[in-house]
Amino acid sequence: MADYLLRRFVQALFTLFVISIIIFALISSVPGGIMAAYEENPDMTQADRERIEAKYGLNKSVPERYLIWLGNLAKGDWGNSFVSKRPAIQEIADRLPNTLILMGVAFVVTLLIAIPLGVYSALRQYSFFDHVMTTIALAGQSLPVFWFGLLLIILFSVLLKQPNGAPLLPSSGMYTPGVERTFADLVRHLVLPVTMLALVSAAGYMRYMRSSMLEVIHQDYVRTARGKGLPEKTVIFRHALRNALIPIATLIGLDLPSLFGGALFTETIFAWPGIGRLYFDAALKTDYPVIMAVLMIFAALIILSMLLVDVVYTFLDPRISLS
C-alpha cells in the first residue's frame, strides 16, 4: 500500500507539472489580457504601458514568466489578483465556504435521490415505474442547466408569490439583504440552486445506478446467494448493492472536485458568491492569477480524488488489491 501511494504521488506531481504548463500556455495565448484595458486610454503613454508591463512581468517571454510563476508557487505565493490586488489564494479562501455549502448539500441530495431510485428501478425492470423513471432521467440529462435555472426563477420567484407579495423563494444571493442572517434564510436561498443541481445530476446518477445494478443482480454469486436461502434484502443490500456501487464510486470521485470548483452556471444564475462565480468574473476581467489558482487547485483535487477512488475500490471489492 505504501509503495503504491508513493508511486501515485510521484505520478501526480508530474501530471500537475504538465497540466500547469498547458494551462499557463493557453492562458498566455489568449488575446487581450490585462493590457487591453489600457489600449484605448488616450492618456496612456508608451512609457506608462512599458511600466505596467514590467510591473506584471509581461515584458518577458512566456517560458520566463512560467518559470517565475512556478518558482513563486513552490514558495506558496499564488500571486495577487489584478482586480482586487489581494492574494489570489485569499480570494479563493473567502469564497470556498459558500461553495462547500451549496455543492455539499446538492451532492448529498443528488445521491439520496439517485441511488434508491436507481436500485428500485433495476429491481422492477420494465415495470411502469422503471419506464417512468428512465424517461424522467433521460429528460433530466437533456435539460440545459441554465434554462432549467431560469425556469425555476420564473416559476418560484416571479409567478408564485407569498401572501405579502414577496417572491415565494429568493432567486439570488445567500441571504436577504438588510436583515439578520439566519439559518432559515440560508435554507430558503439554497432551495432553488440545490434543486437545479440535484435534479439534473440525479438523472445521470440514477441511470448509472440502474445499469450497474442490473448487471450485478444477474451475476452467478447473486444467484448462489439466493440459492442458499438468504433473505432477499441480504442478497440485494449486502451482495448486489455493494458491488454495484463500484462504478458509482468512480463517478463520485470525478464529481468530488466540484465541491471546490462550484457550479459556474448555477452560481452565476443565482448570484451565489462561490468559487464558480469568482472564476467566471476572473475570466471576464482577465484576472490571470485567480484563474491559474482555481484551475491548478481543481486539477490537484481531481488527481487526489482518483487516488481516493482507487483506495475505496479495495473496500468495496475484496478482489481488488493495491500493488
Please write the tens of the pLDDT for every residue from 61-71: 888 888 888 88
Answer yes or no: is 23 within a domain.
yes
**How confident is residue 40, by pLDDT bands cut at 50, 70 and 90?**
low
Q: Are residues 67 and 93 in the same domain?
A: no
Confidence of residue 226 (pLDDT cuts 50, 70, 90): confident
**Helices 128-142 and 88-123: crossing angle, nearest 10°?**
160
Task: Identify the pLDDT of residue 49.
Answer: 72
299 lies in a domain?
A: yes
Confidence at residue 34, expressed as pLDDT on a 0 to 100 scale: 64
Determine contact, residues 254/239, Cβ cutoff 8 Å.
Answer: no
Pair 129, 36 in one domain = no
Report how far residue 159's alpha carbon sits from residue 27's, in angstroms, rounded to the nearest whole number. 42
Percent of the chain exceeding pLDDT 70 equals 91
- If asked whether residues 147 and 28 sit together in one domain, one would say no
- Domain shared by 215 and 105, yes or no: yes
CATH number for the domain harbouring residue 200:
1.10.3720.10
Whether 116 is in a domain gets the answer yes
Convert the pLDDT of each residue in 228-269 to its tens digit. 888 888 888 888 888 888 788 778 877 877 777 667 888 888
More confident residue, 171 or 56: 171
Do residues 253 and 172 both lie within one domain?
yes
Question: 294 and 152, same structural domain?
Answer: yes
Angle at 233 between CA 229 and CA 202, to 5 degrees: 145
Say if residue 110 is in the same domain as residue 238. yes
Residue 81 in domain: no
- Comparing 1 with 59, the larger pLDDT belongs to 59
The C-alpha cell of 90 is what? 485569499
What cell was used for 12?
501526480
- Number of domains into which the chain is organized: 2
Q: What angle do CA 252, 256, 259 make, to 5 degrees?
A: 140
Residues whose CB is less than 8 angstroms from the CB of residue 264 and which lie 6 or more positions away in sequence, other chains included? 276, 277, 279, 280
**Residue where the block lists cell 436561498:** 189
pLDDT digits (tens, 9 = 90+) for 175-184: 888 888 899 9
Q: Is residue 322 part of a domain?
A: no
Q: Which residue has the higher pLDDT, 59 or 284?
A: 284
Tens digits of residue pLDDT in 10-23: 888 899 899 999 98
- Would the pLDDT of 322 be above 70? no
157-183: average pLDDT = 87
Residue 30: domain span: 2-74
**DSSP state at residue 182:** -
Over residues 116-154, the pLDDT tens digits come to 999 999 988 889 998 999 898 888 888 888 888 899 999
- Indicate whether 190 pLDDT > 90: yes
Question: Which is it for the CA torsion 221, 224, 230, 236, positive or negative?
Answer: positive
> In terms of domains, do 107 and 53 share one?
no
